[in-house]
């Protein structure tokens, strides 16, 4: 799976948009970008994923650059409950032998402050 | 419940004891994954099931680790002759199918402490 690079930590003011970047310059054409977050003492929570196009759901938006070498997760109105470790993961599409396992890096610690 | 359920939530064992960790996936989910998360690290893959078939066990750290899913639903991760380095959070995840376009949904894990 392609390696991802994320900032170690970020801060955001409550009510503001949180923009979390991820670099995946070695991504292949059949690999998906997945975002998970993990709040202390809980399991990772799925947020969103995409292949080529930008995606939006009730939690967040995912912006993928045209060359697919980087992406940004956007939390439009951050709240204190969004404080967590955010993981950007590149995952091989169907046909690979990895069976879709997730390879987690260190992630970005997002702290939302009042 | 609608989510992945793991039990026990916490487990303390003495070095050398055997332990069994249970995972109840989301109903109807074909794929089931086990991960191990050491303190301060991201989760690491252990093993993967598609229904009752264990298709990938490349992440199991030693032959003391054994996983099963005999009826294609509930799964058990067993660790024999536990060692201190086995102390970690063990996470289970399930997904609707084996397609990688389907997200994995995680339980809250079992925190295992080996004394």
Would an 8 Å CB–CB cutoff place B103 in contact with chain A? yes
Please say if the pLDDT value at position B32 is more than 60: yes
pLDDT at position A74 is 98
Structure tokens of B97?
Answer: 């199918």
Q: Tell me: the pLDDT tens digits for A8-31?
A: 999 999 999 999 999 999 998 888
Would an 8 Å CB–CB cutoff place B25 in contact with chain A? no
pLDDT at position B1 is 54
Average pLDDT over residues B40-68: 94
Of A8, A38, A43, which to mutate for an interface test with B (greatest number of B Cβ within 10 Å)?
Answer: A43
Would an 8 Å CB–CB cutoff place A103 in contact with chain B? yes
Q: Tell me: the pLDDT tens digits for B4-26?
A: 999 999 999 999 999 999 999 99
Q: Under DSSP, is residue A82 helix (H, G, I), strand (E, B) or coil?
A: helix
Lowest mean pLDDT among A10-14, A82-86, B96-100: B96-100
CA B29 to chain centre: 15
Q: Per-residue b/e over B47-75, b at no fewer than 16 CB within 10 Å? A: bbbbeeebebeebbeeeebbbebeeebeb
Nearest CB to A99 within list B42, B56, B107 = B56
Please say if the pLDDT value at position A4 is more than 80: yes
pLDDT at position B5 is 97
E-state strands within chain B = 5-7, 10-13, 19-24, 31-37, 44-50, 53-56, 65-68, 75-79, 88-95, 105-106, 110-114
Compute the count of residue pairs across chains A and B with CB atoms less than 8 Å apart.
Answer: 67
């Amino acid at each position: 799976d392609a390696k991802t690079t994320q900032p170690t930590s970020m801060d955001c003011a409550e009510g503001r948009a949180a923009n979390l970047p991820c670099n995946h310059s070695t991504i292949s054409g059949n690999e998906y970008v997945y975002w998970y977050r993990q709040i202390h003492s809980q399991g990772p929570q799925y947020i969103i994923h995409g292949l080529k196009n930008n995606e939006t759901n009730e939690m967040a938006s995912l912006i993928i650059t045209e060359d697919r070498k980087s992406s940004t997760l956007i939390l439009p109105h951050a709240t204190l409950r969004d404080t967590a470790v955010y993981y950007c993961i590149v995952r091989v599409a169907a046909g690979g032998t990895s069976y879709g396992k997730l390879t987690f890096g260190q992630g970005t610690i997002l702290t939302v402050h009042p | 419940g609608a989510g992945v359920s793991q039990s026990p939530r916490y487990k303390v064992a003495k070095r050398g004891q055997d332990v069994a960790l249970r995972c109840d996936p989301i109903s109807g989910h074909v794929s089931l994954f086990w991960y191990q998360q050491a303190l301060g690290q991201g989760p690491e893959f252990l093993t993967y099931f598609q229904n009752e078939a264990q298709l990938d066990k490349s992440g199991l750290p030693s032959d003391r680790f054994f996983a099963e899913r005999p009826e294609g639903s509930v799964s058990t991760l067993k660790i024999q002759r536990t060692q201190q380095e086995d102390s970690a959070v063990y996470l289970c995840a399930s997904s609707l199918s084996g397609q990688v376009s389907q997200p994995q949904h995680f339980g809250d894990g079992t925190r295992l402490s080996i004394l």
